[in-house]
Amino acid sequence: MDGIKSYVLICGGANCTSAHKDEIVKKMKGKIKEVGLKTEVQVLPKGCFGLCEEGPIFVVYPEGVFYSHVQASDINEIVVEHLLNGRIVDRLLYKGIVGKNIVTSLNDSKIYKKQTRIVLKNCGVINPENIDEYIAYDGYMALGKVLTEMTSEEVVEVIRKSGLRGRGGGGFPTGLKWSFAAKAEGKQKYVLCNADEGDPGAFMDRSVLEGDPHSVIEAMAIAGYAIGGSQGYIYIRAEYPLAIKRLEIAIEQAREYGLLGENIFDSGFNFDVELRLGAGAFICGEETALIASIEGERGMPRNKPPFPAIKGLWGMPTILNNVETYANISQIILKGVDWFRSIGTEKSPGTKVFALGGKISNTGLVEIPIGTKLREIIFDIGGGIPNGKEFKAVQTGGPSGGCITSDHLDVEIDYETLIELGSMMGSGGMIVMDEDNCMVDIARFFLDFTVDESCGKCTPCREGTKRMLEILEKITTGNGEAEDLVKLERLAYVIKDTSLCGLGQTAPNPVLSTLKYYEDEYKAHVFENRCPAGYCHELIQYFVADDCKGCSKCVSVCPVGAISGVIKQQHTIDDDKCIKCGECLEICPFDIIIKK
C-alpha cells in the first residue's frame, strides 16, 4: 500500500447503506480518480460505527476527522477541500466532536468516551468482508490458543469463571450451559448461534454480524472444541440480507484459510458452520422453537426438560448462544478472566450493547459496562430527548419487557435490577418515549405483536393474549369499563403462570409494568374518556381557542367539512363530524387549534 496518504472509512452498516450510501461511494471514488488522487487515497467500507442517527458516516484518516450526514452533493467538496487541499470541511463535521476550534477524535467524543467496546471493538474498524483484517486485529488467535494450549475442560472453566451471561435476554451463565453439554453423551453435538434477532427495536446482533462476522464464527469453533461438537449452525433472520451475505463470505474465507473444516491448526479438531435462514417467526428466538425450525418444522417450543444441552437438535446435545454472547468469547480467552471481571458488576461482568431508538437525539448502538445508570445512557450518551419534549419512559426488553419511568433513571442496569422493575434486559433494545406517547397504546402495540406471533401451541398464550388485546382495544377506543382493569391484571398473571414458553410467560409484562407505573393513564381512558398523551384517536377532541383570527385556512383543509365560521370571525369544530385527522392543527398559522 505504498504511497497511500489518506484512508476514507465509510460505514457499511444497514442504517447507513439504506441512506443511499452506495451512490455516494461511487461518486467519491469517481471524484478521487478525477482529481488524480487514486493512488494516494483509499476508500474502505467498514462495519457499523453505532451512530446511526448521524449517517451516512465518513471518517478520514490519518486525521481521524469524522463527517456525518454526508450527502451525494457534499462529495466534491470533501474530495477537493479535504483530500486535495488538506482543509477540513467544518460544516459537515459531526457536532459531538467539535470543541473550541479544535476537532477531537471520535474516541474522545462524549458519545464514545462513556462506552467500553468489547463486542463492537472491530465494528467500524475492519473491513468485514476481508478475513485478513480480522486476523490483523488478533482474529483467530483465541482459537489457535485454545486448540494448541488448552484442554476442552480448561476452556469451559475459563468461560465459567469469567461469569459471562447470555446476552440474548435470559442471562443464563454461558459457562454452565457449556459444561452441561460437555458432560452430555452423544455421538454428535451441535453448536448453534441464535441470530434471529426478533425484538423490535434491537439491532445489535445485526451490526455485529455485518461489522465483525468472524468474531462469531471463531467463538462457535471454540465452543465446538469445548463441548466436543464438530458442526455449527447460525440461525439468522431472512430479513437481514446484508448480514447473511457477509456471513457467507466470512464462512467461505475461513474455510479457505483452514480455520473451518478438518484438522484446524493441525490439532485434529474438525469444525464447520452452516447458515440456516429463518422465515419470519418471532417465536423462533426461543431455543427449542429455533431447534424445531432448523429441523424443518413449524417453530413451536418443546417442553423442558430435557434441556437442549442434553437433548437438542436432532436429539443430540446442543448449545445455543446469542450473537453478542459469542462476540465476547475470543477476548475472554485472550485477555483472561480477571480482565473481563474488572468490567461490569460482580454478578454480571462485562458489557452490554444497547440499541437506542425512539424519541432520543442520538439513535444508534452503544456498548456500556453492565451496571451503568440509565440516566447516563439516555442523557449523556443518547443526548436526551429532542424537540424540547419531556422524557416519559424507556422501554426495554421488547415485547417481553416493560417501561421504566423517570423515577428509576438512577438504577444501575443489570439483569436483576431490570426484572425488579418489571422489565427485563431482553436483547438490548431501548426505546425512549416522550410525553406524546400513550402508555396504554404502547401496551396495546406489544400485545398486538404477541397475539400475532404466538405459535398457538398452548392455550393461555394463544387465547389469553387475544383476550388481553381485546380489553386494551376497548380501553383505547374509549369503551373501557372499570372491571376491565381488574380483568386485565388477573388475566396477565394467569398467562404468566401457565404458559409453556418464555414468549407467553413474559407477554403480559408490557401491560403489568404500564399498569403499575401509569395507572393514572389507564384510569383517564376508562373513567374520563380522555387520553392524556393525546394519542388515542377516539378520545381526542379538537377545539378552536377563543382568539381565532378567522383566516379560514382550516376550513379549506378539513376533509369532512367539520369546521364552520365566517371569515375574520371565530370558527368552531363540530366534534360529531370531526375524524381527528389533525390537518387543521397542522395548517393553523396562529396555533389556535388545540388538541385535548
**DSSP class of 565:** -
Q: Identify which of residues 179 and 318 has a Cβ nearer to another protein in the complex.
A: 318
Contacts of 40 (CB under 8 A, 6+ apart): 3, 4, 5, 6
Min CB(382)–another protein separation in Å: 12
Q: Is the peptide bond before 56 cis (omega within 30 degrees of 0)?
A: yes
Interacting residues of 315 by C-beta distance below 8 A, sequence separation 6+: none
Helix (H) or strand (E) holding 55: none
Nearer to another protein among residue 14 and residue 126 (C-beta): 14
DSSP conformational letter for 195? E
Burial-class residue 279 by CB neighbours within 10 Å (0-12, 13-18, 19+): exposed
User: Rounded distance, CA 467 to CA 458, Å?
Assistant: 14
Binding site for another protein (CB under 8 A): 14-15, 18-19, 52-53, 55, 197-203, 206, 238-240, 276-282, 293-299, 314, 355, 357-359, 363-364, 395, 398, 429, 431, 433, 437, 442, 445-446, 455
Query: 390: Cβ–Cβ under 8 A, 6 or more apart, which residues?
Result: 434, 435
Smallest gap from Cβ 442 to another protein, in A, equals: 8
Q: Cβ closer to another protein: 84 or 587?
A: 587
- DSSP letters, 443-477, are HHHHHHHHHHH--SSSHIIIIIHHHHHHHHHHHHT
Instruction: Give the shortest CB-204-to-another protein separation in angstroms.
Output: 9
Question: For 92-212, where are the alpha helices, taking DSSP H only?
Answer: 110-113, 131-136, 141-149, 152-162, 174-183, 204-211
- Least CB distance to another protein at residue 298 (A): 4
Mode of pairing for the β-strands spanning 391-396 and 269-277: unpaired
| Residue reference for cell 454472547 | 325
Sign of the alpha-carbon dihedral angle for 362, 363, 367, 370: positive
CB of 433 to another protein, least distance (A): 6
Taking the least distance from each CB to another protein, the nearer of 163 and 426 is: 426
In the complex, what is the shortest distance from the CB of residue 322 to another protein, in angstroms, rounded to a whole number? Answer: 15
Q: How far is residue 371's CA from residue 553's CA, in Å, rounded to a whole number?
A: 53
State the nearest-atom distance from the C-beta of 580 to another protein, in Å.
Answer: 12
Specify the residue, 321 or 437, whose C-beta has the smaller distance to another protein: 437
Q: In degrees, to the nearest 5, what angle opens at C-alpha 424 toward C-alphas 418 and 427?
A: 125
Cβ atoms of 307 and 334 closer than 8 Å: no
**CB within 8 Å of 402: residues ≥ 6 apart:** 395, 396, 421, 422, 423, 424, 509, 510, 512, 513, 514
CB nearer to another protein: pick between 61 and 445 = 445
Give the nearest distance from C-beta 178 to another protein in angstroms. 23
**Closest of 414, 575, 441, 417 to residue 521, by C-alpha:** 441
Q: Which is nearer to another protein, 321 or 395 (CB)?
A: 395
By beta-carbon proximity to another protein, the closer residue of 147 and 300 is 300
Question: Minimum distance between the CB of residue 364 and another protein, rounded to whole angstroms?
Answer: 6
The least CB distance from residue 336 to another protein, in Å, is 33
- Residue 453 CB, nearest approach to another protein (Å): 9
Sheet hosting strand 65-67, strand order edge to edge: 41-46, 6-11, 58-61, 65-67
